[in-house]
Structure 1
Amino acid sequence: MRYRGQQDYDHRQPPRIGVLVTNLGTPDAPEKGALRRYLKEFLSDPRVVEVPRLLWLCILHGIILNIRPARSAKAYRTVWTEQGSPLLLHTREQASALRKALQKTYGDSVQVEFAMRYGSHPLSEQLQSLFDRGVQRLVVLPLYPQYSGPTTGSTFDALAADFRQRRWLPELRFVAQYHDHPAYISALAASVRAHWQAHGRADRLIMSYHGEPERYLHNGDPYHCHCHKTSRLLAEALGLDADDYLTCFQSRFGREPWLKPYTDDTLRGLPAQGVTSVQVICPGFSADCLETIEEIGVENRGYFMEAGGERYEYIPCLNSEPVHIEALTTLVEEQMQGWSAKPFDAEATQARARALGA
């Protein structure tokens, strides 16, 4: 069969709205083999690495996949939980909390699932699950507040690839970004205020975002601009002056220039400027993961303290905190505007079907 559909499809099945939240993905285990499989899929995506294809595949298979998996597995072991990777755990919890929040209002007429762009829980499987439950209108919410080609763009690529194989396509609303949405900014501000209330303020609030090659910016990717707008709006919500916070970028890879300033270099240089206490937040990450827990919470803490810093605190991601779920619920409900999402009345639907002679 050329096009996928629903097996034994019932045309009397009530139409539903689906919500699919997505994140990047995670290896199945903190082991070399699992990391090699995951990194092979992730780094083979031309959205992620924009290098001439043949050259990059030679580098990837000849060097990177023979060196990086073991190193990455060692890092993942430091953050792994009994339920798996932190990213998987938090994303699952976010989807569950969002499902409960929406079902309070809409009942089973709104169905919520989560998917990962790479690795387990792929988009195709979760989409099939939603369609099998009668979803005919779909909201896709990539959990990347700031648009970037390697994240949000790649998610759309996977969605489009799946849809090209579908017999029937749903009405689609795709959330490309929410970097300046008031509900998201409010949730970030609430998390910082809660940390301040518990621990007091530091000399600087560092807002660290995942980096990307600088040439992506020059080629039109809006990510850099989105990050700085998020920082500005968060600073305004917190009443910060320009000297109270910094925006920087972490997780660079390779030799070419990435977005600056770099987080590690920034933290190494601050003590010499008299800044001995910092609090770091990662507004571009919706859920804690290796890059926040280990890279920011441990590695970069070491850089700052070794350079003469005295106090370093990491403010966790929003994860499944109530303020975050409230913000995500707001985003989804805005996307659902104009779509009927009343709780499903089975008896009324069957009565209409009988009246039409179905």
Structure 2
Amino acid sequence: MEIRPNGDQKGRFYEAIKQKFNKCLCPNMDCEKPAIRAHSVQKATALSFIEEAQHVYGLKMTLKGAEPICEFEKIGRNNASTFTGFCSQHDTELFRPIDTKPLNLKDEEQLFLIAYRSVTRELHAVFEGAAKLQHVHETNVKMGLVKADAPSISAFAPVQALHKAWLTWRYRSDHYDKNLLKGRFKEIAHSIFTISGRLPVVASSSFFPTVENPRDNKKPRIALNMIPVSANETAFIFSYPKAQSADARKFMAPVMLKNGEDRLLALSTFALDTIENFFLRPSHVDSWSAEKRASIQKAYFSTVKDGAFLAPKPEYMLF
């Protein structure tokens, strides 16, 4: 029998998703200052090349009645891609080389920091997810729906989420924090390409595993940044630990071994399969047919809900 949320359950759902995590996630994780809202995709540069009337489009998961759905939603440029991952001091000091200078795709420090911001944004997301699940469990206990000292799904879920957060932190610590503190920027490798002569339509900052639900950190995790750099050029940066280059490049091969429109379709499918923190030019999305828009929303939802693996289809083209 399918259980559908009643009004009280929906209220608890919306209360849970409001829970925020705002600890400063600096390299040593020892900062007690409150985190500020900062952009994972730079507002003044990357987002400025795709925003229209101060807005971009993003994909959002929500409830429609009793059913979860995924829809494109306009987001104010000031709110797009923000996360509370660093205090003001650490955000300013850590990212000064990318926030105050033009992007140089040969600058190893800049490339490292772009990836580091993506990694930390994901670390923040998994910590916040665990906080939301813990809130749900505590609410269930208060309402008498489960016992505090008895096994239950609501008790297990935040523990599982915290384990995921711990794995993500360990990966950042092993491959990024230690190298950042010692200035070893070359320990993170990058596969980069650009497209020129066309209007930028996508910007993203993401970090994801190359295997489903990894239980250890032996397999690479990849940062993907899609960065509009001018009115007619976009840079695409895949970043991964040099020590895990072979497996990372094998994972990226469906994109990197193609060219032209075939590469962009492969990248579009790759993005829908693996990332969620990406934004699009509003007029570009509005130019799509209703069928194409619905197809992309459905494909993205299938990867989030069911872990579906997408095969490239023309209607998945984001560019």
Confirm or deny a common fold (TM above 0.5).
no
TM-score by length of 1: 0.28
Report the structure, 1 or 2, having the larger strand content: 2
TM-score by length of 2: 0.31
